[in-house]
Amino acid sequence: MTKELKTPLSKEDIKKLNAGDIVYISGTIYTARDRAHQRILEEGSPVNLEGAVIFHAGPIIQVSTKNNENDYKMIAVGPTTSTRMNPYQSDVLKLGVSAIIGKGGMDEKTKDALVENDAVYLAAVGGCAALYVKSILEVKSANWIDLGVPEAIWELKVKNFGPLVVAMDSKGKNLYEEVKQKIKI
């Protein structure tokens, strides 16, 4: 089933999602990788995470300066491997995050945290950075740019961002585990 969601996501929206659903998101999403996750837990988040969508991605950004202010243009943005965030993700989910976007799935601790916090893991297709960037209407802000462009938290206004697959739902279903069981990995 295909679903269109608007951020911030509600718990009711998340509970209606099932593993295997196709999702498109409109509104605001945030990029964050491992260093940003770690810093969120150490210092608090620079953005409101209630109902938020975090995209595990390191974008390519073009920066120009106008009137002493930076103007950012996203050139490409694709998913990074989510397992890098395993040490932090369950604690970040407790801060109100409703959805994670990435590739490759996450560990059992994160799966349990998704269930406990009514959240989902959405799989993005690797190699589709040029496709995903077409859904980005605006780079709204850059946070913690001192971490470097790939590790900063980028606030993005998106429209019909996807396609994304619900790979781990809020009920504990995990498509990655189902595939491993079928092929006996």
Active site residues: 37
Q: Kind of pairing, strands 120-123 and 136-143?
A: unpaired
Torsion of CA 147, 6, 84, 116, to 10 degrees: 120
* Residue 9 to residue 23: CA distance in whole angstroms: 12
Which DSSP string corresponds to the chain?
-EEEEESSPPHHHHHT--TT-EEEEEEEEEE--HHHHHHHHHH--SS--TT-EEE-B--EEEEEEETTEEEEEEEE--B-BGGGGHHHHHHHHTTT--EEEEBS---HHHHHHHHHTT-EEEEPPTT-HHHHHTTEEEEEEEE-GGG-TTTSEEEEEEEEEEEEEEEE-TTS-BHHHHHHHHHT-
